[in-house]
Structure 1
Amino acid sequence: MVVTRKALLRVSAAAAMASTLALGAGGTVAAVGAPVVSRPVSPVVSRVVSPVVRGVEPEADVSHHGHVSLWGTGLGVWLVSQNSGPSDLAGTTVRLRLSVPLSGRQELPAQCLQADRQTVLCRTGPLRGDGSQQRQLALELQLLGRPTEVVVRIDTAWNGGATDLNAKNSEHEVLAPATGDEYVF
């Protein structure tokens, strides 16, 4: 016997309608269309399960801009983070992922940490939603060997749960040849 999706939906709908309960006068329960009988509501039936209502998520527009420079074994990353709102943010975490490994432990600013051999995470601190507050970050990272080029991927790893409808201005991929020149993102 082949049961189609439509048939299952019809059976489910009919079963749901048959089991629909209506609250009668005096807190009694009766099936729809049945006479109301005055008796206390059973504890099992009286439990009303309400849908989970989530709070409205804040909306922000975080952006990261700056430049990257590669020379010898050194990689310089200078970036400015800002929030064009509308909501203020308690802080964000900027993630820098490199195409080549770092040479061991790095000397990083207090707000940064090395997540793995190719990733650095840095917190920005609070960002007001009117765009008036900018957080600057300057890093000089030491790379393993002397790469001829490195790809740096910059993005927001965390923004406090805010919705960012324009994530493209906080996600960048920069190719930096070992020229010592500044490559802007």
Structure 2
Amino acid sequence: MRSVRVLGAGVAAVLLVGGGAAGADAAQEPEADLAYHGAASLTSGEVDLRFTPRNHGPSAVPDATVRLRWSEPLADRQELPYGCARSGARAVLCRVGALAADEAGERIALRVQLRKAPTEVQLEIDTVWSSGAVDRNPDNDRQRVLILDTGDAYYF
């Protein structure tokens, strides 16, 4: 780190250049590793989804939000559980809540109706907010699941 002296109007100040407070703040950011595991099924255009969020740590997360996106548009009317809200034609956001380090959160279950009854739909799940926690392993909090209209459960 080097210092630069700035003089002007009879006032002297010292600025720290490089590696200052921003570097210290970055080192203090909490780190959490969020993941989602569950199952989804498709029957006649209705997707039944249930999953459990998990924080592999090392820090707790005071709150988080997960995004669920479908490859097909959702029907206009949906009955979503408390904590979930529609976000566009193909997406729903759900509040995950607080997650302690190395703990599973509350199970999230919802049923959505697609606009049409496709033979398959792809579901993408990812974290969109984690209270400022840094996830250095984001691969396991992003899931892609192909769900066929068989009524069978597809696990992720």
Query: Out of 44, 51, 75, which is 1:72 matched to?
Result: 44
Distance 1:133 1:116 in 2: 28
The one-letter amino acid paired with 2:118 is P
Query: Out of 147, 150, 153, which is 1:179 matched to?
Result: 150
Aligned alpha-carbon RMSD (Å): 1.9
Structure 2 match to 1:146: 117
TM-score scaled to structure 2, two decimals? 0.86
Distance 2:29 2:57 in 1: 13
The one-letter amino acid paired with 1:136 is R
1:1-80 matches, within 5 Å, as 42-43=10-11, 46-50=12-16, 53-54=21-22, 55=25, 56-80=28-52
1:110-136 CA distance string (max 9 Å, x none): 10100111000001111001x234221
**Structure 1: unaligned runs, 5 residues or longer:** 1-19, 22-28, 30-40
Per-residue deviation, 1:57: 1.1
Query: Out of 40, 56, 59, which is 1:84 matched to?
Result: 56
1:106 maps onto 2:78 in alignment: yes
Calculate percent identity across the aligned residue pairs.
Answer: 40
SS in 1 for 2:58: coil
Distance 1:100 1:81 in 2: 24
Per-residue deviation, 1:85: 0.8
Distance 1:105 1:85 in 2: 37
Query: Out of 130, 134, 140, which is 1:163 matched to?
Result: 134
Distance 1:164 1:63 in 2: 10
Query: Out of 79, 97, 100, which is 2:69 matched to?
Result: 97
SS in 1 for 2:122: strand
Distance 1:163 1:105 in 2: 35
Distance 1:83 1:105 in 2: 32
Distance 1:143 1:95 in 2: 16
Higher RCO (C-alpha 8 Å, min separation 6): 2
- How many residue pairs get aligned? The number is 146
SS in 2 for 1:48: strand
TM-score scaled to structure 1, two decimals? 0.73
Higher Rg: 1
**Structure 2: unaligned runs, 5 residues or longer:** none
1:53-91 CA distance string (max 9 Å, x none): 132211011110101100002101111001111111111
| Greater strand fraction, Structure 1 or Structure 2 | 2
Distance 2:21 2:79 in 1: 45
